[in-house]
């Protein structure tokens, strides 16, 4: 990162998408002018094998030419209900079905097969597996995406899938730290609250994450959930230094990449604003900011981060 301009450094921290099958003028502008270096795909981007390969080649080339660094191209290919790739590409069952087999080898093979498919297409990062424990039957967003209501089963199966992905040369991302399983609110739509002490979380929600860290998890995704017993200010985990730096980095010893869940989700956009949320996430310890859909919000967030850095520089000059 030495020798890079401020905007180039910020661009390395942004992951965004575009709402079409082929590259749009907006995504090209974000890459070339705002130096955005990472892409997330959704189903509307992924039409056929040849189209995906073509776009991945172009994106890798454009981003490396613009930034001088390779790109992360990511997708949420969990299997089951969260599947982005088109139907003609090999699909794996969802987490709960695999967990119910009692055979962790199936989770490893699911990761290995998924990773091989993604790598062949030019996608090098999977935003999976889910390590949330399905502990709340009213949870509207996790449910069958979890391997089990037993944290030890989640731990074993989730880490097996993680290792399968890594064996195929694809970055695995365990999520949603410190746990989205015990909520009755979908953070896409509202701001969930988990009113648990750290000790309680260590006995359930954090078991899979702690083991994944010990087993070499390269990347962890944050959750947009308030944990008032961990963070005294009204900040969700994504924006909390106490959680991302104090708990994840210092207590659990995680040394890998911290990526946010999408900062356009209502839990951030409605209650804090995407740009402000981006600044607070960086201050909390996040290194990769996912702003998935709206170019104007990406530009606003980059400019807000630039302004925040310049204010700090000005303070040190005085």
The catalytic site residues sit at 188, 261
Query: What stretch of H or E contains 175?
Result: strand 174-177
Assigned token pair, 50:
């040849």
Task: Evaluate whether 179 touches 223 at the Cβ level (below 8 Å).
Answer: yes
- List Cβ neighbours of 151 (8 Å cut-off, separation of 6 or more): 133, 204, 205, 207, 208
Distance separating alpha carbons of residues 289 and 280, to the nearest angstrom: 11
Distance separating alpha carbons of residues 34 and 200, to the nearest angstrom: 43
- The closest of 3, 9, 175 to 82, measured between CA atoms, is 175
- The closest of 31, 131, 26 to 73, measured between CA atoms, is 31
**At CA 142, angle to CA 205 and CA 260, rounded to 5?**
70
Q: What is the 3-state secondary structure (H, E, C) of 7-35?
A: HHHHHCCEEECCCCCCCCHHHHHHHHCCC
Task: Evaluate whether 209 touches 131 at the Cβ level (below 8 Å).
Answer: yes
**Gyration radius of the chain's alpha carbons:** 19
For residue 236, the 8-state DSSP code is B
Distance separating alpha carbons of residues 64 and 58, to the nearest angstrom: 10
Residues constituting the chain? 318
Task: Evaluate whether 145 touches 81 at the Cβ level (below 8 Å).
Answer: yes
């Amino acid at each position: 990162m030495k020798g890079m301009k401020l905007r180039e450094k910020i661009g390395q921290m942004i992951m965004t998408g575009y709402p079409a099958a082929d590259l749009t003028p907006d995504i090209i502008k974000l890459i070339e002018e705002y130096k955005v270096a990472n892409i997330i795909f959704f189903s509307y981007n992924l039409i056929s094998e040849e189209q995906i390969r073509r776009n991945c080649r172009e994106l890798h080339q454009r981003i490396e030419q613009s930034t001088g660094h390779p790109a992360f191209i990511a997708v949420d290919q969990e299997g089951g209900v969260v599947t982005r790739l088109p139907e003609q590409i090999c699909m794996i069952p969802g987490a709960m079905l695999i967990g119910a087999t009692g055979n962790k080898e199936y989770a490893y093979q699911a990761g290995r097969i998924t990773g091989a498919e993604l790598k062949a297409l030019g996608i090098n990062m999977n935003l999976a597996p889910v390590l949330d424990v399905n502990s709340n039957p009213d949870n509207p967003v996790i449910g069958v995406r979890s391997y089990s209501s037993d944290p030890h089963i989640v731990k074993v199966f989730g880490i097996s899938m993680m290792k399968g992905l890594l064996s195929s040369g694809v970055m695995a991302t365990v999520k949603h730290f410190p746990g989205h399983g015990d909520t009755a609110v979908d953070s896409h739509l509202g701001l969930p609250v988990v009113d648990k002490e750290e000790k309680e979380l260590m006995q359930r929600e954090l078991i899979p994450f702690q083991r994944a860290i010990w087993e070499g998890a390269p990347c962890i995704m944050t959750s947009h959930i308030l944990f008032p017993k961990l963070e005294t200010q009204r900040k969700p985990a994504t924006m909390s230094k106490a959680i991302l730096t104090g708990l994840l980095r210092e207590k659990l010893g995680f040394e890998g990449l911290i990526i946010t869940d999408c900062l356009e989700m209502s839990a951030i956009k409605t209650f804090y604003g995407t740009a402000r949320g981006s600044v607070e996430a960086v201050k909390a310890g996040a290194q990769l900011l996912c702003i998935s859909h709206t170019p104007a919000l990406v530009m606003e967030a980059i400019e807000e981060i630039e302004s925040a850095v310049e204010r700090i520089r000005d303070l040190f000059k005085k």
